[in-house]
Amino acid sequence: MAKAYSPGLQISQRVLHSSRRILPIPGDVLVKVGEQVSSQQIVAQTFMPGDVTPINVANQISVAPAEVPDCMLVSVGEEIRAGDLLARSKGIFGFFKAEMTAKTSGTIESISHVTGQVILRGAPLPIQVRAYQAGTVKEVIPQQGVVIDSEVTFLQGILGIGGEAYGKIQFACQKEDEPLVDSQLNESMRGKIVIGGARMTGKAVKRGIEIGVAAMISGGMDDEDLKEILGYDLGVAVTGSENIGTTLIITEGFGEIAMAARTFRLLKEREGAEAAVNGTTQIRAGVLRPEIVIPLDKNSQADTKSHLKQENALGVLEIGVPVRIIRDPYFGLLGQVGDMPTELRKLESGSESRVLEVALDSGETVVVPRANVELIEG
């Protein structure tokens, strides 16, 4: 297969980026095409049918299910409040009548004469979608949402924990190979997106949560630390709904691994800028990587116009392109593709695979399976 390699993570200094902001069910779009929106502005909203509470009226007032409709004091579609009388049994010769009241508010959705069950629907639940990316509304999808466009600095991480977060970029580490430890975090970082270098320690994450940082981004972390932070072992890389008090993004992988120099440099260039990050990761068919979106201000647009590139222009694995090795025994090393022999080669494991040579930044050349490198894109 010609594409037996990982396409890599996108790291772009300046790119035209679109965010599709869609409601899970149809609703109202609150903005118009061409409108400028800020990252936290609500662009679409709707109401989901409220929560449902089934009430077994037949059991509660000790009547047969078939008698329940006649015992009901309210009818389908009627709104009731907690404490309202719902049903009363006929009793024996008019005595010993049993009554029941509603424990929650809502609307009567159905009354069943087969099961004696009454379904109570609660108040509608609001669902709101924020713009996430500051920019211009490019398209309105009626009843569903919008597409927002803007020129941004765009970086993808390898794995994230937690969902969307917003804040200014602030550095805790001064070099890409400096570990992010608790002593580097302070109160000035509250509500900020904190950038580390190499591995972020478990203590540093705990300190970040205490302070109330919006997000923490670093090269790697230890599996043991992640387990402790989450309180469970992450079984599959489908994340985004965690509620740990901050959003975490690692850019390279697990273990003692430095952030790629280019990623670090690019973030450094945007220090102090307002950014939106999303830790949501889904590593399965239709992969989603965590991302850092930093809209460009007018000054930087003027400076870098000539470098504007389109998204999704996937690179090609060929001699001379920069790659990162993503599997042991050379995990994390960077270099350039040297030779790309077409024939299968036998690996140390005994398997046969298509390989390539990587001229490492250290000057050494190593041979690795093509599946074990990713392009450094951007």
Interacting residue ranges for other proteins, rule: CB under 8 A: 1, 3-6, 24-25, 49, 51-54, 65, 109-110, 112, 114-115, 117, 119, 121, 158-159, 222-224, 226, 233-237, 253-255, 281, 283-286, 312, 326-329, 331, 347-353, 368-369, 371-372, 374
**Whose Cβ is closer to other proteins: residue 270's or residue 289's?**
289
Q: How far is the CB of 114 from other proteins (least distance, A)?
A: 5
**Whose Cβ is closer to other proteins: residue 94's or residue 350's?**
350
Helix (H, G, I), strand (E, B) or coil at 59: helix
Q: How far is the CB of 188 from other proteins (least distance, A)?
A: 32
Q: How far is the CB of 220 from other proteins (least distance, A)?
A: 8
Q: Please, what's the b/e burial string for 215-225 (b: 16 or more CB within 10 A of its CB; e: otherwise)?
A: bbbbbbbeeeb
- Mind giving me the DSSP string for 249-285? EEEEEESS-PPPHHHHHHHHHTTT-EEEEE--EE-SS
**Whose Cβ is closer to other proteins: residue 64's or residue 92's?**
64
What distance lies between CA 252 and its chain's CA centroid?
Answer: 17
Q: How far is the CB of 190 from other proteins (least distance, A)?
A: 30
Q: Nearest to residue 156, comparing CAs of 6, 337, 369?
A: 6
What single-letter amino acid sits at 371? A
**Whose Cβ is closer to other proteins: residue 254's or residue 338's?**
254
Q: How far is the CB of 178 from other proteins (least distance, A)?
A: 19
Residue 213 has phi, psi (to 5 degrees) of -70, 150
Q: How far is the CB of 346 from other proteins (least distance, A)?
A: 8
**Whose Cβ is closer to other proteins: residue 3's or residue 307's?**
3
Helix (H, G, I), strand (E, B) or coil at 247: strand
CA distance 45 to 27: 6
Helices 223-230 and 202-211 cross at an angle (nearest 10°) of 40
**Whose Cβ is closer to other proteins: residue 230's or residue 273's?**
230
What single-letter amino acid sits at 180? L
**Whose Cβ is closer to other proteins: residue 187's or residue 348's?**
348
Length of the chain: 378
CA distance 261 to 334: 10
Beta-bridge mates of residue 54:
119
Q: How far is the CB of 255 from other proteins (least distance, A)?
A: 4
Q: How far is the CB of 141 from other proteins (least distance, A)?
A: 11
**Whose Cβ is closer to other proteins: residue 187's or residue 328's?**
328
Q: Decide if 336 contacts 324 (C-beta within 8 A).
A: no
